[in-house]
Amino acid sequence: METLEEAQLCFPAVNNSCKKSTGSHLEAAITHTLLSLISLLTMVLNLVVIITISHFRQLHTTTTNLLLLSLAIADFLVGFLQMPLHLFQYRDCWLLGDFGCVVISSFSFFIVSVSAGNMVLISVDRYVAICDPMLYPTKVTKKRVQLSIYLCWIFSAVHTFWILRDFLQQPDRYNSCYGECVLVVNYAEVVVDLVATFLGPILIITVLYMRVFVVAVSQARAMRSHVKSVTHHCPGTVTAQKSEIKAARTLGIVVIVFLLCCSPYYFVTAAAESNLVEASSGATEIWFLYFNSCLNPIIYAFCYPWFRKSVKHILTLQILQPDSRDTNIL
């Protein structure tokens, strides 16, 4: 019969087993149920975005949708892989061993880097579309956007392997007992990661969107006042399609939400490295970071009519019809 001391261990059969947290079973069950629902919702919503952009030919005409597709794939992987793996940490007991610890830690760095890169590409896309609309079709081509997306994913993979090179060789080096998944990164590497995936993207995104905001406001005023002389002398900066400005506003919301969801995790990480707060697993901040992957499709649902139409087509199975790819969805 299992003793009380053995019942408090993550793995009673292992001598060096970690101890379970003192939280109640009910609290743990409620938390896991809620997080499981968030994971499922994240997968379903982003899968709808992926199917929509991939299926309907009308959405292939804009390069911006390629960036949204890349972002949706990253968000889907968070819901499909990253969130479920975190659920295997039950009452402070990591149940998947060293290999699972390597997978979840590596993928966490990788997917955050991919998301940050996509946000920067989206900001550049909106900057060119609003501030230089006449040259947008020649500057932002489909091949260039595809190449930028590939480079974003490749850079993120290289960045992840460099940051975690020591951890990948010996994943249990910082574990004090069996049943832990502890990742410790050197201060210099934390600074590099902070600049590459947070501070750098924030600076680029802020500068670009400030410029986009100023130009969009001036264009809106010019269109309202119908000043012919201004439109004649500065057609590239005054005239802009209303849809482009609306897209910039929508994607601006996506970027701001991303920054808000990332900030707690990076602030806590930086504070822990500076010994301003105690180092912890940061589970709450990590899940707040992952929750951004669930929010992006919700933003699309409120701001993009084509997303709502696509949901209707999918739920009513109209998407299975032979000519559904040519449906007018815009």
User: Which stretch of 70-79, 119-128, 227-236, 306-315 has the lowest confidence by average pLDDT?
Assistant: 227-236
39-69 pLDDT per residue, tens: 999 999 999 999 988 888 888 888 888 999 9
Per-residue confidence (pLDDT) for residue 155, from 0 to 100: 94
Please list, residue by residue across 130-139, b when 16 or more beta carbons sit within 10 angstroms of its beta carbon and e when fewer do: bbebeebeee
113-150 pLDDT per residue, tens: 998 899 899 889 888 888 888 888 888 899 999 999 99
Per-residue confidence (pLDDT) for residue 1, from 0 to 100: 44
Cα Rg of the chain (Å, integer)? 23
User: Which stretch of 126-130, 194-198, 252-256, 317-321 has the lowest confidence by average pLDDT?
Assistant: 252-256
168-204 pLDDT per residue, tens: 888 888 888 888 888 877 878 888 888 888 888 888 8
Per-residue confidence (pLDDT) for residue 248, from 0 to 100: 66
Per-residue confidence (pLDDT) for residue 148, from 0 to 100: 95
Per-residue confidence (pLDDT) for residue 157, from 0 to 100: 94
Domain map (residue ranges) of the chain? 19-326
On the question of pLDDT at 317 being above 90, the answer is no
Per-residue confidence (pLDDT) for residue 28, from 0 to 100: 74
266-283 pLDDT per residue, tens: 777 666 555 544 544 456
Per-residue confidence (pLDDT) for residue 259, from 0 to 100: 79
User: Which stretch of 1-5, 98-102, 155-159, 172-176 has the lowest confidence by average pLDDT?
Assistant: 1-5
Q: How many percent of the chain have pLDDT more than 70?
A: 82
In this structure, which CATH number among 3.40.640.10, 3.30.70.580, 1.20.1070.10, 3.90.45.10 belongs to the domain 19-326?
Answer: 1.20.1070.10
Per-residue confidence (pLDDT) for residue 219, from 0 to 100: 66
Q: How many percent of the chain have pLDDT more than 90?
A: 13
Q: What is the pTM of this model?
A: 0.83
Per-residue confidence (pLDDT) for residue 279, from 0 to 100: 47
User: If you average pLDDT over residues 200-210, what whole number do you get?
Assistant: 85
Mean predicted lDDT score pLDDT of the chain: 80
4-34 pLDDT per residue, tens: 455 678 888 888 888 877 767 777 788 888 8
